[in-house]
């Protein structure tokens, strides 16, 4: 590719993983301070060889209260990334589905988001244009930023018991493994791709695995989504798999958890 690789949202967990994965290339990390993607791209970003667009509004519940702000980042930000005119990879979510299916979602399944967040990510997919790679992934976690793994490690060290929903099933995906798959992806045709960890579990099962791997003596009290009462609805089942030939495959989510713990020194 001709020109540098721009990584938006470089301060986030996926952005950091991509910057590390592509470190031997000409990578330009762009934090929000470098470019607020709700604004048009600065002139000095012209001539990129590839744009890896990870900057996003990721507060699922917060989007219910601030839908315009979420759309400005997710939809407007993707439009602005596309305006750079370079090959573009955008990252979407399993939350574009409603969870009514009980077998893995593939690329040809019709989206039906339940939340403001899911709707803004679906609109962002459209805003990326026909020539972008759209990566739908699931339950992302990494060694930086705020995510479920980091939260459970903190709570597990502070408490004897945590309350976690047990009626949502997905694929916890390690940011490092997803970033590595992007190398393969950009050699494949554009369009929608499902890239998520092998295996699946509920949030409660994921929490138990975190405590087990970390050696934390903390119980998980399993509850329903209704009992937890979060503002945004989540799909009950959002396991992602690819039906596209040559799709990159990711390791099992437990392997991702161990790799993350290695980075965290747990």
What is the tally of structural domains in the chain? 1
261 lies in some domain: no
71 lies in some domain: yes
Q: Which tens digits make up the pLDDT trace of 199-229?
A: 999 999 999 999 999 999 999 999 999 998 9
Nearest to 210 by CA among 144, 150, 165: 150
**The pLDDT value given to residue 1:** 65
Is residue 117 part of the annotated active site? The answer reads: yes
On the question of pLDDT at 2 being above 90, the answer is no
On the question of pLDDT at 69 being above 70, the answer is yes
**The pLDDT value given to residue 195:** 98
Work out the percent of the chain whose per-residue pLDDT is above 70.
100
- Supply the CATH number for residue 119's domain: 3.40.50.720
Q: Which tens digits make up the pLDDT trace of 168-180?
A: 999 999 999 999 9
- Asked if 38 and 72 touch (Cβ cutoff 8 Å), the reply is yes
On the question of pLDDT at 79 being above 80, the answer is yes
Please compute the mean of the pLDDT values over residues 157-184 and round it to a whole number. 96
Structural domain for 108, as ranges: 5-147+171-199+239-252
60 lies in some domain: yes
* pTM value > 0.75: yes
Say which of 95, 117, 174, 237 is annotated catalytic: 117
């Amino acid at each position: 590719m001709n020109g540098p690789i721009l990584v938006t949202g470089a301060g986030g967990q996926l952005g950091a993983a991509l910057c590390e994965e592509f470190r031997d290339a000409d990578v330009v990390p762009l934090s929000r301070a470098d470019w607020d993607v709700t604004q048009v791209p600065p002139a000095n970003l012209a001539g990129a060889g590839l744009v890896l667009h990870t900057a996003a509004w990721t507060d699922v519940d917060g989007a219910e209260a601030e839908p315009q702000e979420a759309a400005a980042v997710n939809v407007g930000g993707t439009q602005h990334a596309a305006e750079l005119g370079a090959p573009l990879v955008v990252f979407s979510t399993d939350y574009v589905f409603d969870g009514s299916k009980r077998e893995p979602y593939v690329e040809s399944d019709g989206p039906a988001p339940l939340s403001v967040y899911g709707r803004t990510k679906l609109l962002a997919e459209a805003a990326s244009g026909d020539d972008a790679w759209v990566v739908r992934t699931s339950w992302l976690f990494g060694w930086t930023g705020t995510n479920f793994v980091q939260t459970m490690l903190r709570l597990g060290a502070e408490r004897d018991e945590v309350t976690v929903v047990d009626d949502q099933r997905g694929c916890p995906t390690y940011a490092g493994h997803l970033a590595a798959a992007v190398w393969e992806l950009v050699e494949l045709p554009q369009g929608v791709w499902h890239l998520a960890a092998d295996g699946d579990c509920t949030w409660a099962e994921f929490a138990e695995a975190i405590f087990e791997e970390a050696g934390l003596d903390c119980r998980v009290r399993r509850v329903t989504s209704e009992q937890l009462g979060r503002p945004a609805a989540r799909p009950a089942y959002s396991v992602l798999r690819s039906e596209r030939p040559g799709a990159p495959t990711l390791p099992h989510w437990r392997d991702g958890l161990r790799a993350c713990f290695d980075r965290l020194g747990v």
